[in-house]
Chain A
Amino acid sequence: MAKKSFRQAINEALAMEMRRDPTVILMGEDVAGGMGAAGEDDAWGGPLGVTKGLMPEFGRDRVLDTPISESAFVGAAAGAAATGLRPVAELMFVDFMGVCLDQIFNQAGKFRYMFGGKAVTPMVVRTMYGAGFRAASQHSQCLYPVFTHMPGLKVAIPSSPYEAKGLLIQAIRDDDPVIFFEHKVMYDDEEEVPDEAYTIPFGEANLTREGDDVTIVAIGRMVQFANQVADKLEGEGIGCTVVDPRTTSPLDEDTILECVEDTGRLVIVDEASPRCNIATDISALVSERAFSALKAPIRMVTPPHTPVPFAAELEDLYIPGPEQIEEAVRSVMGAQA
Chain B
Amino acid sequence: MSDAAAPVSGGAIQAITMPKWGLAMEEGKVSAWMAEEGAAIESGEEILEIETTKITNVFESPIAGTLRRRVVAEGETVPVGALLGVAAGADTPDAEIEAFIADFQANFVVEAADTADAPEAEAITVAGRALSHLRMGPEDGGAIVLVHGFGGDLNGWLFNQPVLAETQRVYAMDLPGHGRAEKAVGGLDVAALAALLADYMAAVGTGPAHLVGHSMGGAVALKLALDNPDLVQRLTLLAPAGLGRELNVDYVRGFAEAERRKEIKSLLQQLFADPELVSRDMVNEVQKYKRLDGVNAALRTLADTLFPDGHQALVMKDRLESLAMPVQVIWGDEDSIVPPAHAEGLPANVRLQILEKIGHMPQMEAAGEVNRLIAEFGS
Contacts and interface: CB of A to CB of B under 8 A. Distances in A.
B280 A199 contact: no
B357 interface: no
Nearest to A234: B77
B264 to A, nearest CB: 11
A197 B295 CA distance: 11
B280 A166 contact: no
B313 to A, nearest CB: 29
Interface string A131-165: 00000000000000000000000000000001000
B42 interface: no
Interface stretch (A43-51, A98-106, A200-208, A285-293): A200-208
B259 A196 contact: no
A194 B288 contact: yes
B259 A194 contact: no
Contact of B293 (A162, A198, A200, A204): A198
A196 B260 contact: no
A196 B290 CA distance: 12
A196 B293 contact: yes
A200 B260 contact: no
Given A207-B280, A210-B280, A201 B292 contact: no
A198 B291 contact: yes
B280 A200 contact: no
Interface in A274-332: none
Interface in B257-296: 259-261, 280, 288, 291-293
Contacts of A201: 259
Contact of A197 (B180, B261, B288, B293): B293
Contacts of A166: 291
A114 B288 CA distance: 37
A198 B280 CA distance: 20
Interface centre among B180, B259, B291, B292 (most CB of A within 10 A): B291
- B interface, size bucket: under 10
Interface centre among B259, B261, B293 (most CB of A within 10 A): B293
A199 B287 CA distance: 11
B291 A199 contact: yes
Nearest to A169: B293
Contacts of A207: 261, 280
A200 B289 CA distance: 11
Contacts of B259: 201, 204
B120 to A, nearest CB: 10
A162 B293 CA distance: 15
Contacts of B280: 207, 210
B292 A194 contact: yes
Contacts of A194: 288, 292
Contacts of B291: 166, 198-200
A204 B288 CA distance: 13
A253 to B, nearest CB: 14
Interface centre among B180, B259, B280, B288 (most CB of A within 10 A): B288
A79 B293 CA distance: 29
A224 B116 CA distance: 28
A198 B286 CA distance: 13
A303 to B, nearest CB: 31
Contacts of B261: 204, 207
A198 B288 CA distance: 8
Contacts of B288: 162, 194, 198
A330 to B, nearest CB: 21
A204 B292 contact: no
Contacts of B180: 1
Nearest to A3: B114
Contacts of B260: 204
B248 to A, nearest CB: 26
A197 B294 CA distance: 9
A205 B11 CA distance: 56
A95 B240 CA distance: 59
Nearest to B291: A198
A1 B154 CA distance: 14
Nearest to A162: B288
B97 to A, nearest CB: 28
A200 B293 CA distance: 11
A207 B280 CA distance: 9
A200 B259 CA distance: 10
Nearest to B114: A3
A29 to B, nearest CB: 31
A193 to B, nearest CB: 10
A200 B261 CA distance: 11
Nearest to A16: B293
Interface centre among A1, A194, A196, A201 (most CB of B within 10 A): A196
Contacts of A204: 259-261
Contacts of A198: 288, 291-293
A201 B292 CA distance: 12
A225 B261 CA distance: 23
A4 to B, nearest CB: 14
A162 B285 CA distance: 12
A209 to B, nearest CB: 9
A40 B47 CA distance: 67
A21 to B, nearest CB: 12
Top-8 shortest CB links A-B: A198-B291, A197-B293, A198-B292, A196-B292, A210-B280, A199-B291, A166-B291, A196-B293
11 contacts: A162-B288, A196-B292, A196-B293, A197-B292, A198-B288, A198-B291, A199-B293, A200-B291, A201-B259, A204-B261, A207-B280
Given A196-B293, A204-B260, 6 more contacts: A166-B291, A194-B292, A198-B288, A199-B291, A207-B261, A207-B280
Interface of B: 180, 259-261, 280, 288, 291-293
